[in-house]
Structure 1
Amino acid sequence: MDVLVVGDANPDLVLRGDVRPRFGQAEQLLTGADLVLGGSAAITAAGCARLGLSTTLLTALGDDVFGAITRQRLEERGVALLLARTAPEIPTGLSVILTPDDDDRSILTLPGTIPALRPEDVTDEHLAATRHVHVASLYLQPGLAAGLAGVFARARAAGVTTSLDTNWDPAERWDSIEDILAHTDVFLPNANELRAVTGEQDVDRAAAKLVARGTTVVMKNGAAGARAWGPDGESSAPGRTVEVADTTGAGDSFNAGFLAGRLAGLPVAEAIRWAAAAGSLSTRAAGGTAAQATRADLEA
């Protein structure tokens, strides 16, 4: 395989319209609802496969209807599955995404099987069979996080490149990940995550702190596109103007665009152009995967 993605997979129930709850048994009418593939790792994997990469997702799913939906959606998108063993009573995770008309959003997540992955689930055989390992939603998976530095160290020893997207920490503790970043080739945060992980408010200082330790930082910058800092200096890329339907998973599609570019041999400055375009294009439809870019889209 080209990419082994490790992390969360679950359905996302995306609700739009009058979604701010009013308690007291008040009934509210929505303008839209979609049940789509969710989980940062799953959306990234789907994006990689859409871009022509041979992609496998290592995740944990329950033996229930949400697990069945998730498996079906991944298979439809050409993603191979490796499933970690979980206790039969643990349900598949679920996220409910509330999207009001002002383009803000709130996410409610049932963890379920999401935290079930462990470092030992990523075997040496898996690493020997891939070119790159990408890990997502670190703060939703404390068991995996506790030993991820060792996983990435094994990957590097096997000649496999690595990338990490922590996503947001729901507890907002932002436990230190310095030991993991010491073995991470590319860190893929958004601006707020970069600030939180480093404790620096200025993104340039935050990135410089990580680059000094050997990690290339590729920052998602919303509609502005992307910025990157690495051993070869700094670069940036614009976003694309599109009619936005839903921003869910845009950062994960960004990840897929970047990985596709790098694995195609592009320098970071060009790969972030692919990433910014992939993230922008993914917002054209509800959910994280319905409008993901193709290789032809990015090459154009």
Structure 2
Amino acid sequence: MTTETTTAASAVEPTPDGHLPCAACGVAVAVEDAGERIQVGQSSRYRVSPLDAEPSERGKPYRVTEPGDMTRCPSCADRLALARLLVEAHPGAVRRIGSPAVATERVVAALDGLAALGAPLPDAAKLTGAKLGRLVNRLTLHGGIVQWASHRRGQPSPAAEVTTAPWAHVTDNADLRDDYAGYLSDAIGPRPTPPPDGGPRGCLMCGVAQQTGTWEQVNVRASTLGMKQQGDPRVSGYLCTGCGTAVQDVGSVGPTALSRALLAHLGVAHNPLNPIQVDGVEMWFATGRPPTRTRWAHVALDADTRAVLGIE
């Protein structure tokens, strides 16, 4: 699916006398109400000349686009003003985007994308520089594509037609919807996910049911997890980021990695010259308990052990 525009008769009409097209949403704007003029540039297309053509005839354009004036309707002009306000308020974000002029162009394209979707515009007082950067990264490309000026650029007379309603030329905004969903997802942050299907529903070591990190797949003997089963079958499952890091540091799944992961979770620093081994702690999978919302919920350290570790 893509973001597309159309020139269907129901979407456009000739520009009325005394009016200019809005460069964003495409509606007609009375000249007396027009603000800044936007000139949609001139382009030429060249024909292929016969080899025996006269030099003066070679490469002459067969169509020339006459530059046309557009403007912005009041609603679209307000978005341009908002874009300029945001660019002025966030110089750090602007430096990452480009010059102030380039940043303004990209920010207003993103805002136009929101308008084409009917989505709410950001609150200038609450929008941080980081959020502005994410908005631009997500919505500028397809927001610029749906602008009426972009749609008309390259036509023989760019200003000859207007839309019958704001954004009436936008027929498929699937890409914009995806962009907006991504922008909202960025604001929320990564969502916790359970281990992939096909294995136990928690981290084999700590038992946590969901995390925002990457699950690491392991395939070990049941005895490695502290289980005694006939034939010592292999167990395929996943480790959370914390437990996976401990296993990588130690080199294998086992009691040493279990102690390392548990102590790191408790905030006890690892000292390679005097490593601490926590005894009597089972891996979650060996307990047969359901997965938990928090890591190591199946472990209850006694008061003496906590005192030795220096934790409350």
TM bracket (short chain): under 0.3
User: With structure 1 as the length reference, what TM-score do the two structures score?
Assistant: 0.25
